[in-house]
Amino acid sequence: MNSFIYATHFRPRMIAFVFVGLSFMSALCSGTNLPAVFVFGDSLLDPGNNDYIITLSRANYPPNGIDFPNQVPTGRFTNGRTIIDIMGNEVGFPGFLPPYLAPNTTGKVVLQGVNYASGAGGILKETGALFGGRLDLDAQIDYFANTKNYIISRLGAQNAAKLIGKAIFTVSMGSNDFLNNYLVPILSEPKRALIPPDVFVEKLISKYSLQLTRLYSMGAHKIVVVNVGPIGCIPYVKDILNLGRYGCLDIANQIVQRFNERLKDLVAELSTNLKGSLFVYGDAYRIVDDIYTNYKRYGFDVPDAACCFLLGHHGGILPCGPGPVKVCVDRSKYIFWDAYHPSEAANVVITRRFLDGDSNDIFPMNIRQLLRA
């Protein structure tokens, strides 16, 4: 659930993260120091981009959005707000970062930032193909190039460079590359027979390095990179493999942990080699694993089952609609909203760890510190 709880699923839909603020021009008018924010990710962060493409990976129907303002299903893969939404509200952003593909994402709103995240999207172009339409990371960066040109047309090259240079870029990708690509049951077995896990991880890291470097070359200096969470513990996986309440698919989590180790190395390497850059590494795996393991401490009663469900001991056999489903009464007690994605209550906990956490959660600084950097 980007790529936290990793809106990850063996069925391409996905995951994802993060931070909002006022634009350069708004800051000039209001005296605030909040930057613009540009978000890249999967269904964990998708604010509704997939509403505007032909895809099976959509969430623009009830009961999704049941706890969103006015109880409107916006295309977010959760019952309420995503981590990006909550982050923005916490730091003082008055609304929600708009989806790039929405027709009304134009004018001054673009100067506050844009969200390009897309359910089923991944680092690799082929990831999520079973779902049809989706925006892979290269496509999302292509769209940011369009946004950059638009900002230049409104502000001029010098002010546009200032806005982009001060902006926070959040990238949360990778979950779908495992669950909707390398680890897809049955269909991916030939690939796994030919490509060992370490080789696949290196392929992802090599591609990711090029993509993050491209963002830097386009003017991004402050880049938050969020790792992949414990995808082996989502309700879908637990039901498909008939795992017990506390059981997880260890092989999936082990591969993800190897990817996260290499991603942490990559972030450090880019920070050293790209002059003037400030890369921040968000450890979603550590945070979500802690919430899952110590759920009572965070106020949850149900750590392993979906609030919105139809079939399966953990509610993980089918997605949350469209069509008839059951919804739990107290959604604040569930870590998972559906078979793949976290509830708003879980998103709140995750967000606060990224906002105010120590260097074990987010390194070398948390989001509040980054806003002041």
The set of catalytic residues is: 43, 338, 341
Q: CB neighbours of 339 closer than 8 A, spacing ≥ 6?
A: 9, 234, 235, 236, 239, 306, 309, 312, 314, 315, 316, 317, 318, 319, 320
- Tell which residue, 364, 345, 340, has the closest CA to residue 229: 340
- Cβ neighbour number for residue 145 with a 10 Å cutoff: 12
Q: C-alpha angle 245/247/252, rounded to 5°?
A: 140
State how far Cα 13 lies from the chain centre. 12
Dihedral sign for Cα 232, 235, 240, 241, please. Answer: positive
